[in-house]
DNA sequence: CTGAAAGCGCTTACAG
DNA sequence: CTGAAAGCGCTTACAG
C-alpha cells in the first residue's frame, strides 16, 4: 500500500520481464501475445501501478512539459493566453509550467534556468529586455522557443503578437469619427522599448498624420503605473487639454478610471476614453467602455501549436512573425453627447 | 555547444571523479580540498554545465515541485492565491505546476494522476466533490496534501479557508444597519454542497435570525452562471421584492451587474448590493461597490507554508482547519439615499 | 513473441 | 580528501 509500485513489481506479478511491461506501457502490443498482454494488464490494475514519469523522462530525454514565462501575470491578457496554451498542451499530452517574471529580467533569467534544468521540451515567453544573450544561445542550439506579444531586437524567432499599429488605428479613427480632436495616448513606461507600447504609439502617430492632424508630443505619455496620477495631472493641466484618451492596456485603464473618478471627470462627456484590451467590466461600467480587443484565445492557441510543432519536428525553418487582428468593441465611453456615432 | 554537458564531462575536465563533482554541486565542500574545489568550479563554468534536475529527482525521489489544482481559475481569488503560493515556493526552491480543473471532477482526477506520475512532492487543491476515494487513498499513505477554500465531507486534512459565516454576517449586519430589510443572497449552484456557498448561506440565515428577521427561502438562490438572468428575473418578479442583494462571489457579481445594468435598476437606490470577494473595479464602479474581502495573499502564503512543512517533516499530525477573517470594504453600493451610513 | 543488458544523469553510502 | 560502484525506474536496441 505504501511503497510505490515499479515496473519490476508488475513484471514479477505478471511473470514476465520488465521489458515486456514497458512494451505494454508504451502500447507496443505487436510485441506481445494476447495472453501476456492480459496478464500484464491485470498485474497493473491489481497493484494500482502508476508509471514514474521522471524515470521515463530521464531515459527518453523528453519531459512532455513546456515552460511558459510571462512578463506580467497581472494583465488579463496573460491569464487568457495561458488558458488557451494549456488547452492545446493538454490535448497533446503536454504539461505546462507557468512562471511570472514580474517584469524583472533577473527573475526571468532564473526561470529560464530552472525550466531548462527541469528539461522542459520548449519555451513560450513574453520576453523582457535584458536576457538577449540567453535567448540567443538557446536559439543557436535550435532549442524550441516561441515569443509572444513582444519582439526582441536582434533576435530572430517565431513570434505571435497583435497588429498593434492597427489597434491604435482603430482607436484613433473611431475617436475622430466621434468628434474628438485632441487625442492623447497613455501607456506604461517606454524606456525598455517594449513592442506593444512602441507600436501602439507609432500607430497612433501615423493615423493622426494620415488624418492631417499634428502630433503633439505632450499628448504621448509613457510612465510607471505608480506615477500615473502625476502624469495624468500634468496632462489635464495642459493649456490645451486632450478631449480623448487612449489607454495602452488594462492596467493603465484602472489608473485612468481611478483618476477620472477622483477628479469628477465624466467619461464620454468631459473626456472620450478607449482602451486597448477588453476588460470584464467593460459592458457594465458607466458609461460602458469602448475597447480594442485582442483575440487572446487564438493567439494562445497559435503559440502553443507552433511550439509543439517545433518540438516534434526539429528541422530548422525560417522564423515567422504572426500578427493577429484586433477588433473594436464600440460602447459609450467614446460617445460625445450630441454627436452622432457611426 | 550542442550536446548537453553532464557531470561526467565536468569530472573529466576537472580530472576528478563524478562523485566529487556531485559533492560540489550539493555544496558538501567539507568533502573536498580547496584546490579540487576550484578545479571543479572552473570546469563547470567553462563547460557552462547545468545540472539535470530530472536525473537528480529520480535518484533523490523528490522533485522539489508541488502541484496546485484549482477548481476554477476564473475566480480572481484563484489567481491571487496562486501568486502567493508561488512566492512562498520560490523562496524555498520549489516549483509549482498549476492546474485548472474547470469545476470538472474528471479533469481534476486526471490532473491528480498526471501530477503524481510527475512525482510532485505534494498537492494543494481546491477540491471538487467526486474524487473522495482518490484523496482518501493519498491521505492514508500520508502523502502531503492541503486543501484550500473547501472542506470535503469525510476527509480529514489540513485546510485553509475563509470564515464564510463571518463573511455573511458582516454583509447582512452592514445592510441592516444601512436600512435595508429584505435581503436576498445569490450564489452559484448549490447542488454539490460547495463549502463557501453553503457556509455563506448559513451565515446569512443565522445573522438574519439573530436580528429577529424571518428567513424567506425565495430570497436564497443558488444557480448556474448561465441561468442567472432567469433567476434574477424571478427574484425581481416576487410580490415582495428584495431591497438588497448579497453576491456570493466575483463571478456572480458580474451577472448581477449585467442584469441591473440592462434592466435599469439603480444600485444603492433601487437595490443595495454587497459582494463577497473584492474586485479590481470596486472603487471605480458607479456607485463604488461595498465588498467583503478575503485575505487572499495570507491564505496562499499559509497553505503553501503548511504544505512545505508537511513535505519536510512527514510526521503525522492531527489535521487542522485554518479559518481566515474576512473584512468589509464599505463603499456606496450599500448606501440608501437619505439613510445615514455607519 | 520475450528477456537480458546497457544506459539515461545523477546521488550516496562505503572503502581507502 | 577522493573515487568505484550500485542504484533510482524507466526504455530500447538486440539476441534468441
Smallest Cβ–Cβ distance between A117 and the set B53, B280, B281 belongs to B53
| Cα B145 from Cα B308, distance rounded (Å) | 10
How far in angstroms lies nucleotide C12's C1' from the CA of residue A94?
Answer: 33
Return the pLDDT at B29: 77
Q: Which domains, ranges and CATH numbers included, belong to chain A?
A: 7-51 (no CATH), 62-162+296-325 (3.40.50.2300), 164-294+328-334 (3.40.50.2300)
3-state secondary structure of B86: helix
Record: contact B58-A63, CB cut-off 8 A: no
Contact present, B143 and B178 (Cβ < 8 Å)? no
Record: contact A100-B113, CB cut-off 8 A: no
Q: How far apart are the first and last CA of chain A?
A: 70
| Residues contacting B74, CB < 8 A, separation 6+ | B251
Task: State the cell numbers at A307.
Answer: 511550439
By C-alpha distance, which of A232, A259, A248, A258 is closest to A187? Answer: A248
B117 touches strand D (CB under 7 A): no
| pLDDT tens-digit series, residues B65-114 | 999 999 988 899 999 999 999 999 999 999 999 999 989 999 999 999 99
| pLDDT tens-digit series, residues A158-217 | 999 999 999 999 999 999 999 999 999 999 988 888 999 999 999 999 999 999 999 999
Query: What percent of chain B is modeled with pLDDT above 90?
Result: 76
> What is the Cα A33 distance to its own chain's centre?
49
Q: Tell me the mean pLDDT in the region B38-61.
A: 92
Q: Tell me the mean pLDDT in the region A75-92.
A: 93
Query: What percent of chain A is modeled with pLDDT above 90?
Result: 76
pLDDT at B202 exceeding the cut of 90: yes
| Residues contacting A147, CB < 8 A, separation 6+ | A124, A125, A126, A127, A155, A157, A158, A159, A160, A161
By C-alpha distance, which of A155, A214, A224 is closest to A187? Answer: A224
Cα–Cα distance list, A64 to A23, A308, A312, A322, B125 (Å): 19, 10, 11, 25, 23
Question: Which sign does the torsion angle of CA B239, B244, B247, B252 carry?
Answer: positive
**pLDDT confidence band for A2 (50 / 70 / 90):** low
Residue B68 has phi, psi (to 5 degrees) of -125, 120
Interface of A with B (CB under 8 A): 1-2, 50-55, 57-58, 63, 65, 73, 79, 83, 86, 95-98, 100, 113-114, 116-119, 140-141, 254, 257-258, 261, 279-281, 283-286
pLDDT at A28 exceeding the cut of 90: no
3-state secondary structure of A308: helix
How far in angstroms lies nucleotide C9's C1' from the CA of residue A58?
Answer: 8
B313 touches strand D (CB under 7 A): no
B18 touches strand D (CB under 7 A): yes
Contact present, A148 and A160 (Cβ < 8 Å)? yes
Query: What percent of chain B is modeled with pLDDT above 70?
Result: 97
Return the pLDDT at A73: 87
Average pLDDT over chain B, rounded to an integer: 92
Highest mean pLDDT among A150-159, B152-161, B320-329: B320-329
Chain A residues with CB under 8 Å of B95 CB are 97, 114, 118
Could you say which nucleotides of strand C lie within 7 A of any protein CB atom? 1-5, 7-13
**pLDDT confidence band for B2 (50 / 70 / 90):** low
| Cα A146 from Cα A89, distance rounded (Å) | 14
**pLDDT confidence band for B30 (50 / 70 / 90):** confident
| Cα B186 from Cα B193, distance rounded (Å) | 15
Query: What percent of chain A is modeled with pLDDT above 70?
Result: 97
| Cα A52 from Cα A64, distance rounded (Å) | 13
Any idea which of A283-287, A306-310, B31-35, B303-307 has the lowest mean pLDDT?
B31-35
Q: Tell me the mean pLDDT in the region B160-176.
A: 97
| pLDDT tens-digit series, residues B275-299 | 999 999 999 998 999 999 999 999 9
Return the pLDDT at A122: 96
Nucleotide C1's nearest residue (CA vs C1') is: A32
Element (H, E) at A185: strand A183-187
| pLDDT tens-digit series, residues A240-269 | 999 999 999 999 999 999 999 999 999 988
| Cα A268 from Cα B255, distance rounded (Å) | 24
| Cα A328 from Cα B300, distance rounded (Å) | 37
pLDDT at A3 exceeding the cut of 90: no
By C-alpha distance, which of A254, A284, A262 is closest to B273? Answer: A284
Return the pLDDT at A342: 41
**pLDDT confidence band for A299 (50 / 70 / 90):** very high
Nucleotide D8's nearest residue (CA vs C1') is: B59
Return the pLDDT at B337: 67
Return the pLDDT at A340: 45
Smallest Cβ–Cβ distance between A63 and the set B54, B96, B258 belongs to B54
Nucleotide D9's nearest residue (CA vs C1') is: A55
Chain B residues with CB under 8 Å of A100 CB are 83, 86
**pLDDT confidence band for B307 (50 / 70 / 90):** very high
Record: contact A52-B119, CB cut-off 8 A: yes
By C-alpha distance, which of B258, B333, B259, B260 is closest to B292? Answer: B333
Residue of B nearest to A266 (CA): B286
Record: contact A284-B86, CB cut-off 8 A: no
Residue of A nearest to B142 (CA): A2
Could you say which nucleotides of strand D lie within 7 A of any protein CB atom? 1-13
| pLDDT tens-digit series, residues A306-324 | 999 999 988 888 899 999 9
3-state secondary structure of A45: helix
Residue of A nearest to B279 (CA): A281
**pLDDT confidence band for A31 (50 / 70 / 90):** low
| Residues contacting B318, CB < 8 A, separation 6+ | none
> Torsion angle of alpha carbons B108, B114, B119, B122, nearest 10°?
-10
Helix residue ranges, H only, chain A: 7-14, 18-25, 34-47, 53-60, 76-91, 105-117, 132-140, 164-177, 195-210, 228-237, 250-262, 296-312
How far in angstroms lies nucleotide C6's C1' from the CA of residue A18?
Answer: 14
pLDDT at A338 exceeding the cut of 80: no
**pLDDT confidence band for A57 (50 / 70 / 90):** very high
Record: contact B54-A58, CB cut-off 8 A: yes
Nucleotide C2's nearest residue (CA vs C1') is: A20
Record: contact A53-B119, CB cut-off 8 A: yes
**pLDDT confidence band for B341 (50 / 70 / 90):** very low
A20 touches strand C (CB under 7 A): yes
Interface test with B, best of A5, A47, A53 (most B CBs within 10 A): A53
pLDDT at A1 exceeding the cut of 50: no
| Residues contacting A160, CB < 8 A, separation 6+ | A146, A147, A148, A149, A299, A302, A303, A306, A322, A324
| Residues contacting A90, CB < 8 A, separation 6+ | none
Element (H, E) at B274: strand B272-276
Return the pLDDT at B315: 82
Interface test with A, best of B5, B284, B291 (most A CBs within 10 A): B284
Task: State the cell numbers at A80.
Answer: 487568457
| Cα B150 from Cα B70, distance rounded (Å) | 11
3-state secondary structure of A291: strand
Measure the CA angle with vertex B9, ends B6 and B15; round to 5°: 140
Burial A95-115, CB ≥16 within 10 A → b, else e: bbbbbbbbbebebbbebbebb
Amino acid at each position: 500500500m505504501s511503497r510505490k509500485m515499479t515496473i519490476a513489481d508488475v513484471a514479477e506479478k505478471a511473470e514476465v520481464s520488465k521489458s515486456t511491461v514497458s512494451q505494454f506501457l508504451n502500447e507496443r502490443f505487436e510485441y506481445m501475445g494476447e495472453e501476456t498482454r492480459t496478464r500484464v494488464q491485470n498485474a497493473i490494475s491489481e497493484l494500482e501501478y502508476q508509471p514514474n514519469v521522471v524515470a521515463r523522462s530521464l531515459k527518453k530525454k523528453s519531459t512532455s512539459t513546456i515552460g511558459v514565462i510571462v512578463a506580467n501575470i497581472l494583465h488579463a491578457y496573460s491569464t487568457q493566453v495561458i488558458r488557451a496554451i494549456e488547452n492545446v498542451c493538454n490535448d497533446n499530452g503536454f504539461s505546462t509550467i507557468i512562471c511570472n517574471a514580474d517584469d524583472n529580467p533577473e527573475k526571468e533569467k532564473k526561470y529560464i534556468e530552472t525550466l531548462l534544468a527541469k528539461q522542459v521540451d520548449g519555451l513560450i515567453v513574453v520576453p523582457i529586455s535584458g536576457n538577449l544573450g540567453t535567448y540567443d544561445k538557446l536559439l543557436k542550439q535550435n532549442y524550441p522557443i516561441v515569443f509572444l506579444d513582444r519582439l526582441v531586437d536582434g533576435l530572430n524567432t517565431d513570434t505571435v503578437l497583435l497588429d498593434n499599429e492597427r489597434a491604435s488605428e482603430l482607436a484613433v479613427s473611431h475617436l475622430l469619427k466621434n468628434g474628438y480632436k485632441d487625442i492623447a495616448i497613455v501607456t506604461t513606461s517606454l524606456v525598455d522599448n517594449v513592442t506593444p507600447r512602441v507600436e501602439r504609439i507609432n500607430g497612433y502617430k501615423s493615423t493622426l498624420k494620415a488624418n492631417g492632424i499634428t502630433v503633439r508630443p505632450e499628448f504621448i505619455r509613457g510612465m510607471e503605473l505608480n506615477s500615473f496620477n502625476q502624469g495624468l495631472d500634468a496632462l489635464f493641466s495642459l493649456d490645451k487639454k486632450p478631449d480623448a484618451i487612449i489607454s495602452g492596456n488594462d492596467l493603465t485603464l484602472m489608473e485612468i478610471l481611478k483618476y477620472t473618478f477622483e477628479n469628477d471627470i465624466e467619461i464620454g462627456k468631459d473626456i472620450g476614453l478607449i482602451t486597448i484590451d477588453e476588460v470584464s467590466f467593460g459592458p457594465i461600467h458607466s458609461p460602458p467602455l469602448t475597447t480594442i480587443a485582442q483575440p487572446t484565445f487564438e493567439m494562445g492557441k497559435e503559440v502553443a501549436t507552433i511550439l509543439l510543432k517545433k518540438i516534434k519536428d526539429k528541422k530548422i525553418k525560417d522564423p515567422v512573425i504572426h500578427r493577429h487582428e484586433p477588433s473594436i468593441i464600440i460602447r459609450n465611453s467614446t460617445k460625445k453627447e450630441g454627436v452622432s456615432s457611426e
